[in-house]
A = this chain, B = another copy of it.
Amino acid sequence: MIEYSTLLENFVKLLKENKLKFTKQRELILKTLYDNDGHFSTDDIYAMLKEEHPELNIGIATVYRTLSLLEDAGLALSISFGKDGKIYELGLKKHHDHLICQSCREIIEFVDEVIEEKQKEIAKKHNFKMLDHTMKIVGLCEKCQKIDNI
């Protein structure tokens, strides 16, 4: 995994290149994604920052704006599902897909080279230029299967 200091350097450079400013808010949102290696909704991140940095008095609009900025920059990526289901994660990992537990919302990441390869083939066969691809397996994790059977 990339060091936080390196990540931060990249971010600062990227901002500079685009004549954007480096603010405490932007830094903390990036850091939150980095430190809490996981998947969070805009609101999750807003709540975490409210909790951990109340002095910032951050606004939800800033969280929306920043996550969107990070996504455009390739530093974060989002997964959407059903209505009201959009979560972000740090965008620097190798491409991977997700298993999502419908009940507890646990998320497991996985990579399968055979599937990756097949997807390329399919796009090619249909003369599509593939820009993005996502796969989600929704179901019940081990724990929730047991609970649901009670």
| CB closest chain-B residue, reference A85 | B80
Count class of interface residues, chain A: 35 or more
Contacts of A114 in B (CB 8 A): 114, 118
- Select A135's contact among B86, B99, B135, B141, beta carbons within 8 Å: B135
Establish whether residues A126 and B138, one from each chain, have CB atoms under 8 Å apart when the complex forms: no
Closest Cβ of chain B: how far from A123's Cβ, in Å?
A: 6
Tell me how far the C-beta of A115 lies from the nearest C-beta in chain B, rounded to whole angstroms: 5
Interface residues of A in 55-109 (CB under 8 A from B): 80-83, 86, 99, 101-102, 108
- Contact: B128 with A140, CB < 8 Å? yes
> For the complex, is A145 an interface residue (Cβ under 8 Å from B)?
yes
Contacts A/B (CB < 8 Å), 5 sampled: A108-B128, A114-B118, A130-B138, A133-B136, A134-B136
Q: Cβ of A112: which chain B residues have Cβ within 8 Å of it? A: 118, 122
Do B118 and A141 touch (CB < 8 A)?
A: no
Query: A137 in the interface, Cβ–Cβ < 8 Å?
Result: yes
A142 within 8 A of B: yes
A10 within 8 A of B: no
Instruction: Name 12 extra pairs, CB < 8 A, besides A112-B122, A128-B142, A132-B137.
Output: A80-B80, A83-B86, A99-B122, A101-B128, A115-B115, A119-B135, A128-B140, A129-B139, A129-B140, A130-B137, A130-B138, A133-B135
